[in-house]
Amino acid sequence: MIQYKAPVKDIKFLMNDVYRFQEHYKTIPGGEEATPEMVDMILEAAASFSEDVIAPLYQSGDKGCRFEGGEVQTPAGFKEAYQMYVENGWQSMSTPVEYGGQGLPISLSLAKSEMIGTANWPWGMYPGLSLGAMNTIWMHGSEQQKQTFFVPLSEGRWTGTMCLTEAQCGTDLGQVKTKAEPNGDGSYSLTGQKIFISSGEHDMAENIIHIVLARLPGAPAGTKGISLFIVPKFNVNDDGSLGERNPVSCGSIEEKMGIHGSSTCVMNFDAAKGFLIGPENKGLMCMFTFMNTARIGTSIQGVASAELSFQGALPYAKDRRSMRSLSGTKDPDKVADTLMVHPDVRRMLLTQKAIAEGGRAMVYHAARLADLMTAAHNRGDQQAYEEYDDELGFLTPILKAFLTELGYEAANHGVQVYGGHGFIKEWGMEQIVRDAQISKLYEGTTGVQALDLLGRKMLLGKFKSFNRFADQVADFTKHTKRPEMKKMVRKLKRNMLAWKVNNLRIAYKASKNRDMVGSASVDYLMYAGYIAMSYYWAQMAETAYQKLEQGDGDANFYKAKIQMAEFYFKRMLPRAKGHAKMMVRDPKSLMQMDEEHFAFLD
């Protein structure tokens, strides 16, 4: 049984010391509410709620949801926890005050999401999906749609879903077949089947609002003929009360590798009543807002997997005794030394920790951008909005794919620290692996993210957002003069230079052969991830040195942070080397084999 403790100290280190959120909050609407006292109070409350209410449901929730007669029963305790969550106002933290919310910065919400997601990712998916639905309605919905659907979602009385995938298509949404026929009264009738719908049906809220991709009659083929609809489980009367049941129903729930507490539904739309959201045939474009939010949300899962698995593995490593230290017995009175004396066990623990903390630093930086982007949107500053979107758009695929790949790795280290016991359900370590697996798949697989990064953001974007990032790093390296930081700064400068050179090599090769993009993509993404993360680790080390110099705070904490940065640079960053080699290879070694010669099994 893993005892989750929210890493509040680390979160505050990022918010207060590294990123100086208090200064940042002064620049955004709603930020004035986020006083230091308020932030502390919220973090402490979110920590307690996650530790005491949500975490205890993690292992028991692995028994899964039950499906009977079209209804889904979530695991014992899920519903009650959700009620508390809603009553405590957690869902409306960062939604606008004029729509029933508390108007606090999104970055604060993300801190809460991290804690809840680490305590129990499958549980967190129910309110998490609502956020995506809310964002879409907020960005593209009419005033009436906001009043009708956004407010109850924000209050948490209802939950939301995203209905994209169909049996024949997930990534390639141009293949969507679900139809939407106009009813003549401004509403539409949706018919079709969606699969893999998280929170599509459950017993936790009184209504479920589905955001659905579908085709209007006569719409162009492919991605240019997809529109976006709101389809409620229960129709909504003019006064906001629930009307009759809409013919959208759950046909079955999937048996999956993990996240058993989260219902994954086949949803059947049998002429269900829906409402167009955004312009006709522009559904995919509108959906992108939805997906970007979801992708940053998913990147948190990487941090969560690493953090929880680390918290599970550390006490075991301190407690379990096996063999003697090779550098001399440490506990002669005991039957054996603890696992902590073994360098390789430390390597695994430190790798988990480096992923959790390095990933957290990346996510909280993105959270700050999300604050700024939302503020720009809300004040109608399209140019600023697009710039922040651009900046975030460069980071999003890295966060989503790199952090979930590494989170999965970290979860596997956790199993490994336990040895054979890691394979046994009782300890909870293997569940983290099973749950983490999905993070590499949904919201765009690692391969899809990698194409987005290299193909769209880098090559099509002519490295614009990369250059902005490179300027930020250059600014950091230029102003970091501390002798202790010399090695890290030098390494960072060299790697940024190498990255630029590699960009040009790949761009050149891709101009000759478009298959170069897919051929390089995943190695490129991992390469980018390792170097980007080193920048965040260097920033944390620099801040820790500053704090030590100033002599305030917990010196041990700052020293450990510097040691972690050293660990990252020495023991993880070198992985970028192999990726660098492989990503510049000609596509030939991937493409030359005839499809029929992949196997000779007859």
| Contact call for residue 7 and a second copy (CB under 8 A) | yes
| Contact call for residue 288 and a second copy (CB under 8 A) | no
Structure tokens at 2: 């893993």
Specify the stretch interacting with a second copy by CB under 8 A; choose among 25-33, 155-163, 207-215, 516-524: 516-524
Q: In angstroms, what is the minimal distance from the CB of 499 to a second copy?
A: 16
Per-position x/- string for 168-197, each x denoting binding to a second copy as judged by CB under 8 A, each - no binding? xxxxx-xx--------------------x-
Let me know if 461 is exposed, middle or buried by CB neighbors in 10 A (0-12, 13-18, 19+): middle
Rounded-to-integer distance, Cα 494 and Cα 573, Å: 13
C-alpha distances out from residue 474 to 128, 226, 470, 478, 489, Å: 36, 42, 6, 6, 10
Q: In angstroms, what is the minimal distance from the CB of 121 to a second copy?
A: 14
| Contact call for residue 382 and a second copy (CB under 8 A) | no
Let me know if 230 is exposed, middle or buried by CB neighbors in 10 A (0-12, 13-18, 19+): buried
Per-position x/- string for 537-576, each x denoting binding to a second copy as judged by CB under 8 A, each - no binding? -----------------x-xx-xx--xx-xx--xx--xxx
| Contact call for residue 291 and a second copy (CB under 8 A) | no
| Contact call for residue 447 and a second copy (CB under 8 A) | yes
Phi, psi of 210, deg, nearest 5: -95, 130
| Contact call for residue 438 and a second copy (CB under 8 A) | yes
Phi, psi of 453, deg, nearest 5: -65, -55
Specify the stretch interacting with a second copy by CB under 8 A; choose among 151-159, 227-235, 373-381, 509-517: 509-517
Rounded-to-integer distance, Cα 365 and Cα 476, Å: 15
| Contact call for residue 126 and a second copy (CB under 8 A) | no
- DSSP SS3 for 193: strand
C-alpha distances out from residue 272 to 239, 264, 348, Å: 21, 20, 51
| Contact call for residue 581 and a second copy (CB under 8 A) | yes
- Which residue's CB is nearer to a second copy, number 47 or number 362? 47
Let me know if 181 is exposed, middle or buried by CB neighbors in 10 A (0-12, 13-18, 19+): middle
Of residues 474, 587, 461, the one with CA closest to residue 523:
587
| Contact call for residue 311 and a second copy (CB under 8 A) | yes
| Contact call for residue 600 and a second copy (CB under 8 A) | yes
| Contact call for residue 582 and a second copy (CB under 8 A) | yes
- Which residue's CB is nearer to a second copy, number 383 or number 599? 599
Q: Is 244 a catalytic residue?
A: no
- Which residue's CB is nearer to a second copy, number 88 or number 437? 437
List 144, 241, 327, 383, residue binding a second copy (CB under 8 A): 327
- DSSP SS3 for 440: helix
Structure tokens at 55: 């975490």
- Which residue's CB is nearer to a second copy, number 54 or number 438? 438
- Which residue's CB is nearer to a second copy, number 130 or number 446? 446
List 422, 465, 466, 469, residue binding a second copy (CB under 8 A): 422
| Contact call for residue 486 and a second copy (CB under 8 A) | no
| Contact call for residue 255 and a second copy (CB under 8 A) | yes
List 70, 419, 468, 549, residue binding a second copy (CB under 8 A): 419
- Which residue's CB is nearer to a second copy, number 26 or number 559? 559
Buried b (16+ CB within 10 A) or exposed e, 144-170: ebbebbbbbbbbbebbbbbbbbbeeeb
Of residues 157, 115, 146, 110, the one with CA closest to residue 9:
115
* Sign of the Cα pseudo-torsion (155, 159, 165, 166, in order): negative
Q: In angstroms, what is the minimal distance from the CB of 261 to a second copy?
A: 14
| Contact call for residue 321 and a second copy (CB under 8 A) | yes
| Contact call for residue 426 and a second copy (CB under 8 A) | yes
List 69, 217, 218, 328, residue binding a second copy (CB under 8 A): 328
386, 443, 549, 596: which one is catalytic?
A: 443
Q: What is the DSSP letter of 56?
A: G
| Contact call for residue 12 and a second copy (CB under 8 A) | no
Structure tokens at 260: 């058993």
List 63, 66, 318, 490, residue binding a second copy (CB under 8 A): 318
Residue 157 makes CB contacts below 8 A (sequence gap 6+) with 86, 205, 206, 207
- Which residue's CB is nearer to a second copy, number 206 or number 331? 331
- Which residue's CB is nearer to a second copy, number 437 or number 467? 437
Rounded-to-integer distance, Cα 511 and Cα 509, Å: 5
Rounded-to-integer distance, Cα 307 and Cα 510, Å: 38
List 110, 450, 473, 532, residue binding a second copy (CB under 8 A): 450
Positions annotated as catalytic residues are: 443
